Structure 1
Amino acid sequence: MKWLWILGLVVFLECLVRIPLMKIKTLRETLMEKNLVTYFLEENTDVQSQNVTDDPQFTLLPLRNAMALVYFGNITIGTPPQEFTVIFDTGSSDLWVPSIYCSSPICRASRLFNPHLSTTFQHTCKVFEFKYGSGTIVGSLGYDTVRIGNLVNLGQVFGLSKRQIGFEVAPFDGILGLAYPSLALEGTTPVFDNLKTQGVISQPVFAFYLSNQKDNDSVVMFGGVDHSYHRGQLKWIPVSKTHFWQIAMNRITMNGVAVGCFNGCQAFLDTGTPLLLGPTRLVTTIQKFINATPSGREYEVPCSSITQLPPFIFDISGNEYPVPAQAYIWKNPQGRCLSNFRGDNHHSNKVETWVLGHVFLKLYFSVYDRGNNRIGLAPAV
């Protein structure tokens, strides 16, 4: 990996140590393409059922969405607070926002963090490069106070962008990663881990309810679980690797016929990815099952299929999670019906890996329990 040079104003020129930092993850590539933006853990757990809404160490933050393709909410950084919209992303671990040092045209349409206006900001000599499916972010690291709802996180490291490539149609400012520390920039502590270690939250959990509605019906919650957002009991699935939110999956079937994950596989739950991503060779076969035909970089399906095709069944830890055609086929504003399956070769070729994005997570309320390294799923209300 080649060395990065330090960009920006005089405050950054004093730094002599240049540290190249890079991370790769899959994010919403199709924002631009679509012209839009058998083992369960026991139930007696630390995820308590008391009225968390009365707990000052719990926050429930409304999320907005753009065509149910990308979900984002507000945080503030600095003293006095400067507000930004960010994706709360279980597929990455770092926090970054645009800064006044950003020279890219896209930054002119974003809110920019100004470190000179914050009395609690501390700059560092470290630079970073984040590579996502939708673009690349280059900048420098700093520390400041980050607020999520009523939760105050002191001395949080975050990235100040100085160059942004891609994200031209993104309706958000930055990204707040919620995956494990092993996925974060070396030597940094992610937001959620600081919330834990600083005692800001009483329970080391967060949860997502994602809705198709445009208004503030979707939420992310930290420090507990509001059980009014799901039906039935949560089913707990152990995390198979503490990096992404990764779990073991048994198989994927349609009409009782296996169409993927034939001998078991791995899956990531990713709130930063709207689609169902899998190995390209298997996804190509699935497109044939649903009579999808190539249309540019997408696959188009007859709209009549939405009421005719059966669900795909995702078998996870012996539980079946149906995904109906109304979820895996998307009708865009132009009236075309498109498959929400997409081939993805970003992840390991040695182990079959799937990414379960919004298509799956809008159907199932999801809880991410760092205290027990597990994920809870239940049908969303």
Structure 2
Amino acid sequence: MLDFVPLKWALFMSIIIFSSVRADPLVLGFTKSMPPPNQVANFLSNRASGLARQERFLAEKLGLSDKNNSDDDIDDNEARTGKDNGDNASSATTVSSENNIYGVRNYLWSYLITVGVGHPKQEFKLILDTGSSVLWVPSSKCSNTTCPGSSSVSLFDTSASTSYQVEEGNIFNLSYGSGGCSGESGQDSIFIGDTEIKHQKFGVADKVSEDLLTDGVNGILGFGPGITDQKFNSKAEKWSTPMQHLLDNGNIKSNMFSIYFDNVDTKDELETANGRLVLGGLPPHEYYTGEIQWANLFSEGKYKYYWAIKSQGIKVNNKRISGNLRGIVDTGTTMTILAPEYGKRVISALKIVKYDEKNSLYYVDCKKINSLPTLTFLLDGNIELSLTPEQYTAPSWQTSFWLVKDNQCPLYLSTDIVTEFDFILGQKFLEYHVAAHDIDNKRIGLAPRIHDKNPE
């Protein structure tokens, strides 16, 4: 078990159910058909908590769990085992092989990258997660009993890969915020875009908790700071990360990666908005404004396993709400999360925000979004980065996804989740800021994002 639980799945991480399995990993088809009203009613009545209802209702709302609406005719067994076109199967789209830039998909509440595993390649759509450092995929030995949801995701068939090597007797066991997974440890080639990473160690899970697998989400690709000396495997081995392999093999010149996302402005952009993963360097300057500002990592105790930084608080417009805060930057968490005691001070300063106890969320009258103040995060290194009201509030077209009234726009801010940290800057913060992760120099760089839907 991990000593320090990565905060995956804390909010909306295992929720999006994708029905379409396509050869092109970056053109996954969302089906828009609505289920019959009685199905929605029955569906909602079987869910105990407000968040669970929101999560699954979104999948039904978009029709994403209707497998009859898949845009491609792919054999069921091929889709299940991740097999496609052998070594011609396409992993994450390579935007620029010279600069090691790869496409990442924004699915509103999750960011996925498609990774090939083995020879011939078997494809998996994985959560791109900077809050953990381990790669795992579900095993073809899974059943719906041992791995709930496995009947609708790609599974790794170790016997079908000519390059797979099992690590006999080495069992991996990972715990996350709402469950865990375990299985055998092995090594094989993995493919990010056109780049092959040989002898990568990873977990092949044959036991997975409910809700960690959903249609289209097949596991996790960890991009933590590279520390994997936790006792997550029975031999207590240190596993080299994909980044370390790339550096050792000369594929990249710098032990650094960068991530930047596009936000989703309309329903149509659920199919088109892309992010980027840059391996070995900084993001192209056309994607951000000003200069990248660097904050040193805070690595005492449990924090050494995360991209952890300090903060001096938040400014609400020009009012400073001070705090001696320690938190993390994490692509694997959706919301911006503030510890309850501090977070409620911030929420109180927003004045017009109300709280929905049934659904455990803050919201504002959609017509009053522009009346909210700008939030400026005061980070270590004299860094000040802001979110406008429109950037930390869900737009009105999303209200039906949250099971709130049409005039209630939820905030992408939460104070209700008890975490190990004072704050988490998650995906909704990172949609408006590029993030450069410098492993060797133990620092993270941030800059305001320039949003251009067609930058190439």
So what's the TM-score if we normalise by structure 2?
Answer: 0.70
Q: Tell me, in whole angstroms, the C-alpha distance in 1 between the residues paired with 2:418 and 2:246.
A: 34
Q: Tell me, in whole angstroms, the C-alpha distance in 1 between the residues paired with 2:413 and 2:343.
A: 7
For 1:195-234, what aligned pairs fall within 5 Å after superposition? Answer: 195-213=246-264, 214=270, 215-225=272-282, 226-234=284-292
1:346 is aligned, of 419, 423, 436, to: 419
Counterpart in the other structure of 2:181: 137
How much has 1:240 moved relative to structure 2? 2.0
**Per-residue Cα deviation, 1:247-300 (whole angstroms, up to 9, x for no partner):** 1222212133233xx243222110111111121122233333332213322223
2:152, 2:216 within 8 Å by CA — same for their partners in 1? no
Please give the secondary structure, in 2, of the residue aligned with 1:224. Answer: coil
Q: 1:358 to 1:337 in 2, by over 3 A?
A: same
For 1:1-381, what aligned pairs fall within 5 Å after superposition? Answer: 24-31=5-12, 32=15, 33=51, 34-35=54-55, 36=58, 56=98, 58-66=99-107, 68-103=108-143, 104-124=147-167, 125-165=169-209, 166-167=211-212, 169=214, 171-183=216-228, 185=232, 186-187=236-237, 188-213=239-264, 214=270, 215-225=272-282, 226-241=284-299, 242-259=304-321, 262-290=322-350, 291-296=353-358, 297-316=360-379, 317-331=381-395, 332-334=398-400, 335=406, 336-343=408-415, 344-347=417-420, 353-381=422-450
Q: Tell me, in whole angstroms, the C-alpha distance in 2 between the residues paired with 1:360 and 1:222.
A: 21
**Per-residue Cα deviation, 1:41-62 (whole angstroms, up to 9, x for no partner):** xxxxxxxxxxxx8764x42111
Q: Which amino acid aligns with 1:151?
A: T
2:374, 2:386 within 8 Å by CA — same for their partners in 1? yes
**Per-residue Cα deviation, 1:331-364 (whole angstroms, up to 9, x for no partner):** 424144112122332215xxxx211001211111
Q: Tell me, in whole angstroms, the C-alpha distance in 1 between the residues paired with 2:174 and 2:316.
A: 37
Counterpart in the other structure of 1:14: none
- State the aligned residue count: 340
Q: Tell me, in whole angstroms, the C-alpha distance in 1 between the residues paired with 2:215 and 2:367.
A: 31
Identity percentage of aligned residues: 26
Greater share of strand residues, 1 or 2? Answer: 1
**Per-residue Cα deviation, 1:197-229 (whole angstroms, up to 9, x for no partner):** 232212211111111143252111112232222
Q: Tell me, in whole angstroms, the C-alpha distance in 1 between the residues paired with 2:207 and 2:340.
A: 32
Q: Tell me, in whole angstroms, the C-alpha distance in 2 between the residues paired with 1:265 and 1:219.
A: 29
Name structure 1 gaps, 5 residues minimum: 1-19, 38-52
Q: Which amino acid aligns with 2:290?
A: G
2:316, 2:376 within 8 Å by CA — same for their partners in 1? yes
1:287, 1:293 within 8 Å by CA — same for their partners in 2? no
Please give the secondary structure, in 1, of the residue aligned with 2:277. Answer: strand
Output the aligned Cα RMSD.
2.2
2:369, 2:389 within 8 Å by CA — same for their partners in 1? yes
Greater length-normalized contact order (CA 8 Å, ≥ 6 residues apart): 1
Task: After superposing the two structures, state which structure 1 stretch, 270-279 or 280-289, moved more.
Answer: 280-289
Q: Tell me, in whole angstroms, the C-alpha distance in 2 between the residues paired with 1:164 and 1:109.
A: 14
Q: Tell me, in whole angstroms, the C-alpha distance in 1 between the residues paired with 2:202 and 2:174.
A: 12
1:276, 1:354 within 8 Å by CA — same for their partners in 2? yes
2:2, 2:175 within 8 Å by CA — same for their partners in 1? no
1:106, 1:164 within 8 Å by CA — same for their partners in 2? no
2:110, 2:332 within 8 Å by CA — same for their partners in 1? yes
Greater share of helix residues, 1 or 2? Answer: 2
Counterpart in the other structure of 1:6: none
Q: 1:21 to 1:341 in 2, by over 3 A?
A: closer
Q: 1:363 to 1:94 in 2, by over 3 A?
A: same
**Per-residue Cα deviation, 1:112-150 (whole angstroms, up to 9, x for no partner):** 111101111011222222222243222221110011112
Please give the secondary structure, in 2, of the residue aligned with 1:305. Answer: helix
How much has 1:170 moved relative to structure 2? 6.1
2:373, 2:388 within 8 Å by CA — same for their partners in 1? yes
Counterpart in the other structure of 2:34: none
Q: Which amino acid aligns with 1:293?
A: Y
1:153, 1:200 within 8 Å by CA — same for their partners in 2? no
Q: 1:81 to 1:216 in 2, by over 3 A?
A: farther
Q: Tell me, in whole angstroms, the C-alpha distance in 1 between the residues paired with 2:249 and 2:109.
A: 33
Task: After superposing the two structures, state which structure 1 stretch, 150-159 or 276-285, moved more.
Answer: 276-285
Q: Tell me, in whole angstroms, the C-alpha distance in 2 between the residues paired with 1:228 and 1:367.
A: 15
